[in-house]
Amino acid sequence: MKFDDYLKKTGEVGYVVRSLQSLAYVEGLPGAKSSELIIFEDGNMGRVIGLYEEEVEILLLTAEVVGVGTKTVRVGGRLEVGVGEALLGKSIDPLVRDYLTGNPIKTQQNRPNDITPMGISGRVNITKPFETGVSWVDLIVPLGRGQRELVIGDRKIGKTDFLLQVMLTAAKRGEICVYAAIAKNKQDVKEAQEFIADNDITKNTILVVTTASSPAGLIFLAPYTAMTIAEYFRDGGKDVLLILDDMTAHAKYYREIMLLAKHFPGRSSYPGDIFYVQSRLLERAGNFSKGSITALPVAELIMSDMSGYIQTNLMAITDGHILFDTDYYNEGRRPAINPFLSVSRVGHQTQSVLMRDVSREATSFLVKLSEVRQYMHFGAELSESTRRILALGEQVMIFFEQTPQSSIPLPINVVMFAGIWAGLWKDKKPSDLKTHLANLVTLYQSDKNFFQLVEELVSGKKTLSELVNAIKQNSEKLMEHKQ
C-alpha cells in the first residue's frame, strides 16, 4: 500500500513540526499508538516512541533529513519485516532490504518485529547439547540447544572470531545461522561475509547488518529483525543459531535516542527501560516444541570491568556467560576463554554421562593446575607429583589451543583429551603434540575407518576412566595415524 492508500484508510494525517537527528515531531495523527509504524510522504518510515498532547514523537528509520511540513500517515499497525527462505545467503538491513543496494527483498510472509515473548506453554526443557566446535566451550562450559549464553570480553579479544567458529560448526550441521551486526565497522562486516563465503556456509546464513554510520533507528531495530527471522525458521521446525554482536552498542544507541528525545535518564544516563528493551528481545529465544533458537548475545567490557550496568543486565538475562580474559589474551592463549569465570547454567544438564565426567575431571584438573602454578612463584623445589601435574597441564593447554578458523567435532575432542589423560603423548615435544592433534582432527573428518574407531571408543563409556582404558587398549591404532 502507498502513502495515499494509508491516508484514505486511516483518515488521519500529520505534519512534521520539528526534526532532529533520528527523531521527528509530528502534529496531528490523533489515533497514533505507541510503536506504530509511520510513513512519510517521501516514502521514509518511522516508529512512534512517544505520545504527547500536541505532538507525536517518531523515531526515524532513515538517514535522510525529514523536512518540516512533510506529511505523515500512520499505517494502523506495528512494523513488520519480511521473512522467508529468500533471505538465506543474503546480507540485509533491519528493514529487509539488500544491505548494499537498498533494494527490498521479496519474502514469503511478513511478521511483526517486536512481539511479546512466547509463554511457558510453547516451551520445552533444554535437553540436547549445542556443539560449538571450540574445545574450551564443549568440554568446560557446555551449551544446550535453546540456551542464551552471553559472550563477554574487552574489545579486539577474539569474540567475533569465536562466534564465527560457532557459526561454522552450526551451519555445517545444517542449522540456520542469523548474525546481527549491530553498529559494526564496515571492515568487520566484510570480513564476516568473506569468512562465510570462504567456508561455503552461505546457504545457511543470514546477515542483518548495521554499521556505525547507519541511522540510530535502524541500529536499534537490528536485533529485533534478526530475532524475527530466527523465529520464522524455528516455526518451520529448524534449530537456529542467533548471534547479536553486540548488545552494549545496541544499548548505547538506544541511550542516544532517548537522551535526544529528552526522556528522563537513569543510571549511567541509560533510559530506565533498558533492561526491559533487551530482556524482551532475549526472552524470545529458547527451546520450543517446534524448534529452538540458541542465542549468543555479545557484550563488550571496558578494562575487564564486569560490574558495568549493561553487562550485569545481560548476565542477569542470559543463562550463563563465556568470558574472554585480557590477561589470557596477552599471554597468547587463543581462544582467551577464562574457564573459571565462565558459567553455563543450562549446558551441563544436556551432556551425556561421559561428557559430564570428562567436564568434571577437566575442570578440577584446571583448578589444581592453577593452584600449582601459583605455588611455583615461591621458588620452592617441586615434588614429582607437582612436576607431573605441570607437564600434563602444559599438554592440556596445548590441547585447548585452537585457531580461529578451526572447528573440532566433539567425539574426536573427547578422545584427544582422554588420550592426553592416558599419557599417549607423554614426554613428547609440544610442537609434535600440536601437529599430531591437528592431524587427528583432519583424519576424523576425512577417513571413514578412523571416524568409526573414534565413534566406537566413545560409545557406551560412562566415565573418563573407562574411556582412558579403552584408549590405552587401542593406543597403537591411534598413534599409527601420527603423520
Partner 1 sequence: MKDPVLDILKTTYEASELTRALHALLQVGTTDKKVLASEAERLLSHSLAKALIDQINDTKDVQIYLKTLLASMNKLEVIHLGLAFEPSGDLVEKLSLWIDKNLGEAVVIDFELKPQLIGGASISYKGRYGDYSLSKKIDEYLEIKRQEKFGNKNKIR
> Which are the catalytic amino acids?
345
Please enumerate, as own/partner, the contacts of 121-128 that have beta carbons within 8 Å and a separation of 24 or more. Answer: 122/288, 122/289, 122/290, 123/286, 123/287, 123/288, 123/289, 124/287, 124/288, 124/289, 125/287, 126/286, 126/287, 126/292, 126/346, 126/349, 126/350, 127/287, 127/349, 127/350, 128/292, 128/350
| Dihedral of the alpha carbons of 26, 30, 33, 38, in degrees to the nearest 10 | -40
Q: How far is the CB of 70 from partner 1 (least distance, A)?
A: 13
Q: How far is the CB of 54 from partner 1 (least distance, A)?
A: 11
Judged by CB, which is closer to partner 1: 3, or 365? 3
Q: How far is the CB of 31 from partner 1 (least distance, A)?
A: 8
Please tell me whether residue 341 adopts helix, strand or coil conformation: coil
Looking from the CA of 358 toward its CB, the CA atoms found within 13 Å total 33
- Among candidate residues 275, 277, 317, the one with its CA nearest the CA of residue 297: 317
Q: How far is the CB of 29 from partner 1 (least distance, A)?
A: 5
Q: How far is the CB of 13 from partner 1 (least distance, A)?
A: 4
Q: How far is the CB of 10 from partner 1 (least distance, A)?
A: 8
Q: How far is the CB of 8 from partner 1 (least distance, A)?
A: 6
Q: How many residues does the chain have?
A: 483
Q: How far apart are CA 211 and CA 63, in angstroms?
A: 12
Whether 242 contacts 318, CB under 8 Å: no
Residues of the shown chain interacting with partner 1 in the complex, contacts defined by CB under 8 A: 7-8, 10-15, 27-30
Q: How far apart are CA 156 and CA 307, in angstroms?
A: 20
Whether 62 contacts 44, CB under 8 Å: yes
Judged by CB, which is closer to partner 1: 28, or 217? 28
CA distances from 349 to 99, 353, 359, 461, 467 (A): 40, 10, 12, 18, 21
- Among candidate residues 96, 97, 2, the one with its CA nearest the CA of residue 41: 2
